[in-house]
Structure 1
Amino acid sequence: MHQSNIISASKRKRIILDNLRSYSMLLPNLILFLAFSVYPVIWTLRFVFYRYGGYGASVPKFVGFDNLIRVFGDQIYWKAVRNTFVYAGAKILFIIPAAFFLALLLNRKRKGNGQLQSIIFMPTIMSSAVMGLVFYLLFNVYNGQINRYLMDWNIISGPINWLGKDHAMKTLVITAVWGGVGNYMVYFIAGLQQISQEALESARIDGAGRLQTLWFVTIPMLGPILKIILMLSITAAFSDINTVMVLTEGGPTNATMVMALYGYQFFFPVSAGTSITPQYGYGAAVSTVSALIAGIVTVLYLILSRKMDDVY
């Protein structure tokens, strides 16, 4: 009995030591997570209820729900919300089919396909600021290459203001699609390579053509990876800020202002290119409402995708 207690105590001690080793290895990541993820969220939520102009500007003053009430009455913000949905919808509408089409073309083992995949993927690792600057030069109304080529080919008779009110959102979507299509193409290629060749061969033996095989076999079997791609594209579209900031700064007349940039400019108005004075409290309120809207969209998508799984 005494020996059994000794063995049991020794076993407990070994388990405790193993747990301590495990937690000690997790501790650095936990500290970083708390410092750079949890604390900023708590800080932001706290200042939702304060009027504060930044360090050295004023003492935080408790104002209750005034900032949130101001958000719900802010017409510019709700225009930014509408622009965000338009931007996200247009981006997803074009980038997903384009990525899928490129994946179908480049998934085959042909000479040069690997190099083409690398070239298409390259914009994904490019800085958003650099990409925005490049497209700003390309779409410049006076000396941009896009207008020059279109006029040389007699497609247009005069230069188009691609960054003006009527076309700025289209230019943003084109830039976003070019910058992100390579990333989603890689996901689609990974999904295509996981499809059983036996299933494709069986469809051909049963007399299915290429389009029928694509529609009834390939696309349904890509369902899991497609859900991931849609989730990533939604979150990326709602959080995109660098491209908008560099290319249009939300203008002209807030025509391309999005939720993320509108909240950002109250924290860092100088870098956002605006004349707004720092308003940390209101910026926190805007960011919180924006996060709630993005969260609701994400939850609705997850519910819809789960129902689709139940149906199919």
Structure 2
Amino acid sequence: MTTNPLEPVLFEVKRIIVGQDVLLERMAVAMLAGGHLLVEGVPGLAKTLAVKSLAGAIGGQFQRIQFTPDLVPADLVGTRVYHQHSGEFETTLGPVFTNLLLADEINRAPAKVQSALLEVMQERQVTIGRETFPVPEPFLVMATQNPIESDGTYPLPEAQVDRFMMKVVVGYPSVAEEHAIVQRALYAADRPQVMLSPDDLIRMRASVEQTYVDPSIVDYAVRLVTATRSPESVGQADLQRYLTYGASPRATIALVLGARALAFLRGRDYVLPYDVDELALDVLRHRIVLSYEALADDLGADDLLVRVLRAVPSPDVVLQP
């Protein structure tokens, strides 16, 4: 058994953020698994504050980009600048060269700007002109988006969305939590203390890689993702008309890597089917493409996924190493 070394970091963030336990845990999973996170919620739910607080507790480099309709790709990745006095080009690197990048309201920028993040999210590098520049390690993108306004927003392309390991939907706080939020708003907010360094996080990722994943867990993840492409294979043929495309193989990888990180956070050195189940909606909801018939029948991705996932049997026994 292992202890959770990220617990001090999460407690430090919770001094500033009330509630949002699921969001904070998913943020920790993304950090440990080396994935990126998309956070969706209506305005005023402290999405941006949660990411900024986590960045403050981790240390390292942090950059925030406020996405607006007038952004261009060079504003993110950088560009080559010509110096007339020397007759040479000099490369100026953009704000993506950081450890933790907050892409705030990412759906307010056009697709060409969103697509500028494709290479850096997948390959951890940026190509400017003929040169390729690696970003610092660890590197993590956390993006927020507002789901209720359509004016001035641009839906994320499927290729862009698939780069995000998870999409977390943030809901309203409970009555007790909202009371605590208002009480804390009456006083100046504390700055989070640095509880972890980037090097510490890299070492933790190496420890996560030692967490045991039974072959039955991998098989279970494969069957879950395959069921989103062919729901008739698990006895849900009536859902086929609602699904245009199922989840990609990236979803299977994200499920297994995320479950391994979650098991590590929970203090285990082996993965259980429950770890996969708990992350399934967050990993899959943004990767399936619904048909117009699903939209006409007012069915969302979660509605369909719950039915598909319930139809896939979980492994009976998972042996520890």
For this structure pair, what is the TM-score category when the shorter chain's length is used for normalisation? Answer: under 0.3
Structure 1 or 2, whichever has the larger Rg, is 1
TM-score for the superposition, normalised by structure 2: 0.25
Q: Which has the higher helix share?
A: 1
Q: Which has the higher strand share?
A: 2
TM-score for the superposition, normalised by structure 1: 0.25
